[in-house]
């Protein structure tokens, strides 16, 4: 339960790959280390997003609302960051996160994350790179899906 172990975990998060340790320590320090127990909600689809979650241990189910109720669409686990979209652009949560087992999470509030980006442009750059890569992948997926659709 110390900053050092958290920094170890943060280093494994792809988003923070190129960032040096002192900044990761700062990120860890300004986040809230929070425990979630099985079934507890990290966030709910539709509500305003005020923080991002960095999963240190445990897994969370990603649920989306469907006419038939909430449906699990994915699972996120250790060393991933979720909910960062909501704090970068002011959109409501796009999905619900429920702890699938006992979780250890670092919560970064929106204000602090933005302050951190302001302070250290290299983090911004890294975030930008990761997002661009995701966009590229999504675009490719979309193109493939379209091709698939038109093809069959």
Partner 1 sequence: MLGRTKSDKLMEKSLFSFIWKYSSRQQIYILMVTVLTYPVIYILLELPKLIINDAVEGDNFPRTFFGFDFDQIPYLILLCCTFLFLVVVSNGLKFYLNVYKGRLGERMLRRLRFELFQRVLRFRLPHFRKVSSGEIIPMITSEVEDVGGFVGEAFSLPAYQGGMLVVQLGFIFMQDPLLGLAAVASYPVQGYIIPILQRKVAQLSRKRVKNIRVIADKVGEGITGVAEIHANDASAWHSADLSDRLYENFKIRYEIYNRKYFIKFLNNFMNQLTPFFFYMIGGYLVIQGDLSMGALLAVIAAYKDLAGPWKELLAYYQMTVDVGIKYQTVVENFDPVDIHDTDRLTNDETVDLKGDVKFENVTFSGGAAGQEVTDITLKVPEGTACAVMGPDGSGRAEVLQLAAGLVSPLTGKVYIGDHDLDKLTDSTLGREIAYVGGAVHVWTGTIRENLYYGLRHRPLTKVERTGEDLKVYKRSLSEAAETKNPSYDLAADWHDLKKAGVTDIDALDLKALELLGAVQLDADIYRLGLQSRFDPSMNDTFAERILNVRKELVARIAADPTLAGLVELWDPSTFNASASLADNLFFAVPSDAEITMDQVPDLPVVKSFLSSNGFDKKLQDIGVQIAETMLELFSNVSGSSGLLGSYSFITQEELPDFERMVRIARSGQTRPGLSDNDKSRLTGLAFKLVPARHRLGVMTDELKAEIIAARAKFLETVVKDNDEFLAFDPEVYLPPLTIEDNLLFGRPRVDRRDARRRIDAVIRSIVEETGLRQPIIFAGFGFHVGVSGSRLSAGQRRRIALVRGLLKNAPTTILDDVATGMTEEDKALRENLRSILSGRTLLFGTSNADIAAEFEHRYTLDQGRLSESET
For residue 45, give the DSSP letter. T
Place of tokens 């890569």: 133
Length of the chain: 152
Q: Is residue 88 part of the contact set for partner 1 (CB under 8 A)?
A: no
> For residue 36, what is the enclosing H or E element?
strand 32-36
Under a CB-based contact definition with an 8 Å cutoff, are residues 59 and 38 in contact?
Answer: no
Under a CB-based contact definition with an 8 Å cutoff, are residues 43 and 76 in contact?
Answer: no
Binding test (CB under 8 A) with partner 1, winner from 11, 34, 70, 131: 34
Q: Is residue 1 part of the contact set for partner 1 (CB under 8 A)?
A: yes
Binding test (CB under 8 A) with partner 1, winner from 54, 93, 96, 112: 112
Among 140, 131, 110, residue whose Cα is nearest residue 14: 131
Q: Is residue 11 part of the contact set for partner 1 (CB under 8 A)?
A: no
Q: Is residue 12 part of the contact set for partner 1 (CB under 8 A)?
A: no
CA distance 14 to 52: 15
Smallest gap from Cβ 131 to partner 1, in A, equals: 22
Listed ranges 18-26, 65-73, 82-90, 127-135: which one lies at the site for partner 1 (CB under 8 A): 18-26
Binding test (CB under 8 A) with partner 1, winner from 14, 17, 18, 35: 35
Closer residue to partner 1 in complex, CB, 50/59: 50
CA distance 74 to 68: 17
Q: Could you list the residues that contact partner 1 (CB under 8 A)?
A: 1-4, 6, 22, 25-26, 28-30, 32-37, 40, 107, 112, 115-116, 118-120
């Amino acid at each position: 339960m110390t900053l050092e172990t958290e920094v170890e975990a943060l280093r494994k998060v792809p988003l923070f790959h190129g960032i040096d340790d002192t900044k990761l320590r700062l990120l860890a320090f300004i986040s809230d280390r929070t425990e979630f127990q099985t079934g507890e909600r990290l966030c709910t689809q539709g509500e305003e997003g005020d923080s991002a979650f960095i999963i240190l241990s445990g897994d969370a189910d990603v649920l989306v609302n469907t006419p038939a109720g909430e449906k699990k669409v994915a699972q996120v686990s250790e060393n991933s960051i979720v909910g960062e979209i909501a704090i970068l652009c002011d959109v409501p949560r796009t999905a619900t996160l429920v702890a699938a087992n006992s979780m250890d999470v670092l919560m970064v509030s929106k204000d602090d994350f933005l302050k951190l980006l302001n302070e250290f442009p290299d983090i911004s750059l890294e975030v930008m790179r990761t997002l661009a890569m995701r966009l590229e992948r999504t675009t490719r997926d979309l193109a493939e899906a379209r091709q698939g659709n038109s093809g069959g």
